[in-house]
Amino acid sequence: MRVSTVILPIHRWSEGQRLWRRAEELGFHAAYTYDHLSWRVPFRDGPWFGAVPTLTAAATATTRMRLGTLVTSPNFRHPVTLAKELVTLDDVSGGRVTLGIGAGGTGFDASALGREPWSPRERADRFAEFVPLLDRLLTRDETSHSGVFYAAHEARNLPGCVQRPRLPFAIAATGPRGMRLAARYGQAWVTTGDPKVGESGTPEQSRAAIRGQLDRLGAACAEAGRDVAELDKVLLTSFTPDRPLDSFDAFVDFAGRHAELGVTELVLHWPVPDTRFAADEKVFERIATEAPAALPA
């Protein structure tokens, strides 16, 4: 099992670069950041920087660790401009980028451009067009497309991604349409667990919910003629009832139980004091350096 981190884009780069370098020193498999225009309380009225510029800076500050978004969405992104940014970022990083991508939600991103938030159905409809078009843009020298929501006219992406045929997609999905997209286009699948269970359930109920999600992913892969084992299964932590950062032993137990379900990568939030992501930094760093050797291969 891999252990990664997500560093919220809340730090001026004079401070942020230290965290990204430290994440690599600690041996994390990857370091991700959120791709939002702003996020929920208590971050809504504080510093919040752009994901792609942050990752570009992180690419120049690190050399080995993978980098990525958790997650990008169509809420304020267009496939044509996003593809150009991703090709550039993949080049700057030397082929170390993973695109975490999801359908988006009803938060601040959904209304920041001055429109009403899309309904769940419209978000799913847009996502179903967004992902295949982005796949084409990143794997072809030139792409034209005329769809219901998106268009491209002779959009060029030379020289293409360093990673071939393109950088990997980690698709966040729990519903049937999103699962089908993950099965067809994903190199990884992302979950935060079941939000309903996360609010009022138990760790056992949370694991049962994740087991059900993995079963549905397996069914979607079978329908697509693909082996579900080809996809990494990524759990972004802090949204289940568990408290894996309370101690080193708590994390090892948490990781082992989720490895049994089939999860292959756990992503831990870099500690942020006085928030839901608060944690003892010494425990966090011990987990990063010692836990991988104690976990299933």
Q: Would you place residue 133 in the very low, low, confident or very high pLDDT band (cuts 50, 70, 90)?
A: very high
Tens digit of each residue's pLDDT (9 = 90 or more) over 218-251: 999 999 999 999 999 999 999 999 999 999 999 9
Q: What percent of the chain has pLDDT over 90?
A: 91
The pLDDT value given to residue 8: 98
**Residue 108 in contact with residue 37, Cβ under 8 Å?**
yes
The pLDDT value given to residue 110: 85
Split into its structural domains, the chain has a count of 1
N-terminal to C-terminal alpha carbon distance within the chain: 6
Closest CA to 39 of 100, 106, 108, 113: 108
pTM of the model: 0.96
The pLDDT value given to residue 107: 80
The pLDDT value given to residue 181: 98
The pLDDT value given to residue 41: 86
Between 114 and 222, residue with greater pLDDT: 222
The pLDDT value given to residue 112: 87
The pLDDT value given to residue 291: 95
CATH number at residue 145: 3.20.20.30
**Residue 79 in contact with residue 137, Cβ under 8 Å?**
yes
Residue 275 is part of which domain span?
2-294
- Does 158 score more than 90 pLDDT? yes
Phi, psi dihedrals of residue 172, rounded to the nearest 5°? -85, 120
The pLDDT value given to residue 106: 85
**Residue 28 in contact with residue 62, Cβ under 8 Å?**
no
The pLDDT value given to residue 7: 98
Tens digit of each residue's pLDDT (9 = 90 or more) over 162-173: 999 999 999 999
Neighbour-count burial of 8, counting CB atoms closer than 10 A to its CB (0-12 exposed, 13-18 middle, 19+ buried): buried
- Does 296 score more than 80 pLDDT? no
| Mean pLDDT lowest among 104-118, 214-228, 242-256 | 104-118
Tens digit of each residue's pLDDT (9 = 90 or more) over 10-23: 999 999 999 999 99
Can you say how many angstroms the Cα of residue 9 is from the centroid of all Cα atoms in its chain? 14
